[in-house]
Structure 1
């Protein structure tokens, strides 16, 4: 791994837990949600400039990272424009950085790869594959309630759709990488020992994440209704 990538990862291993904690604080009333929006926008723009100036700072696909950050920055303009509960949606979307932390941590802390992989998959499904698509119709309803212009609606809803698609791409790449790592031919006793040593597979971890996600779908819907009631 290149030094630039290691440095970028180490910086994010410090910043991402702080961002994750800030989003939780914003959702629980221990931090102003509008502060979360401003901090996240500053982080995304700073990382956008970093990756643009030094593409080797990420292990692969710097173009996709730049696209992701550009779309995220566009989405963060919406709470700055409309304020109120839209800042709380920043906190909800921002929870995904906890999963990003596990992604980077398992890459850098090889000795803890197995427990970090479990944490990665268990948080991946509810945050990236359930919460993000669940917020698409919520955002559409909110923009209609605000009588937003078609362009503002397109930026808000379209950005969330693109970020959801990015999460699906991450799933595909993660599964392909897992299959590549375990594709080495083995025979007889070596194969049996290898299977015993693998521990939880990606499929099992995904299944565990789905269990967590099932409970989360209703939670997203209830939280949205409560949020609307409080701000009505």
Structure 2
């Protein structure tokens, strides 16, 4: 999350170099610059990955939600995308602007939830409904990357935020008592726990976006 123009860690790296200059004189550029460049590269590669892969995932989720294709395949594609992304940001947390640990937890909860429709294909369509929140993720990334169209992307970001992140999840949760009838306690705990966890995440995320920013003094 976040809309900083630079890659994560780049500013911190420059600050570290400034401190090194103050303490030791000119920094060893052979050591510092490649490290900074690598951190920035991982950020750019991850952003590009989302910009190119999310549209495909969204086409599949939309088709599954509309009944145009078997939702199980949509869930499988979404599961694969999130699993790959989880491995990436675990390997290179600097690929995200911030909150890498929080996103890792969010991804793990999502993967755990997706195991249910993968085991129960008749429920895959509901996972496709919730998978539409990736529209919001796409516009979040696009807002950072397409500076010339940032206003349009910001409008699309907010236009997709409330429907896909705040409204869909409570609706699906309300369907769970009927959908999970006959399932074991462990399955119910997994589904309910993950659903409420993701809804809580979205609400906290909304709060962080709307809370007043503290102005810096000096």
Structure 1 Cα separation of the partners of residues 177 and 45 of structure 2: 39
User: 1:135, CA displacement in angstroms?
Assistant: 1.3
Q: Unpaired segments of 5 or more residues in structure 2? A: 1-5, 8-39
Asked if the contact 2:143/2:154 (under 8 Å) is kept, the reply is: yes
Q: Which residues of structure 1 form unaligned runs of 5+?
A: 186-232
Whole-angstrom CA distance in 2 between matches of 1:72 and 1:137: 18
Q: Distance in 2 between matches of 1:134 and 1:55?
A: 33
Residue in structure 2 matched with residue 141 of structure 1 by the alignment:
178
Match of 1:160 among 163, 173, 195: 195
Alpha-carbon distance in structure 2 between the residues aligned to 1:44 and 1:26: 17
| 1:168-183 correspondence to structure 2 within 5 Å | 168-176=203-211, 179-180=212-213, 183=215
Does residue 107 of structure 1 match 2:140? Answer: no
Following superposition, the deviation at residue 56 of structure 1 comes to 0.5
Measured in 1, the distance between the counterparts of 2:135 and 2:105 equals 20
Aligned mates of 1:106, 1:115 — CA distance in 2 = 8
1:52 equivalent among 81, 85, 90: 90
More helix by share: 1
Question: What is the TM-score with the length of structure 2 in the denominator?
Answer: 0.77
Alignment partners' CA distance in 1, 2:53 and 2:176: 27
Secondary structure in 2 aligned to 1:59? coil
Q: 2:101 aligns with which of 36, 40, 63?
A: 63
Cα distance in structure 2, aligned partners of 1:170 and 1:25:
27
Structure 1 segments, 4+ long, off by >3 Å, are: none
CA RMSD of aligned residues (A): 1.7
Q: TM-score, normalised by structure 1?
A: 0.73
User: Which protein shows a greater Rg?
Assistant: 2
Q: Is the 8 A contact 1:140 1:157 kept in 2?
A: no
| SS class of match (1:60) | coil
SS of the residue 1:180 aligns to: coil
The separation in 2 between residues aligned to 1:57 and 1:8, in whole angstroms, is 6
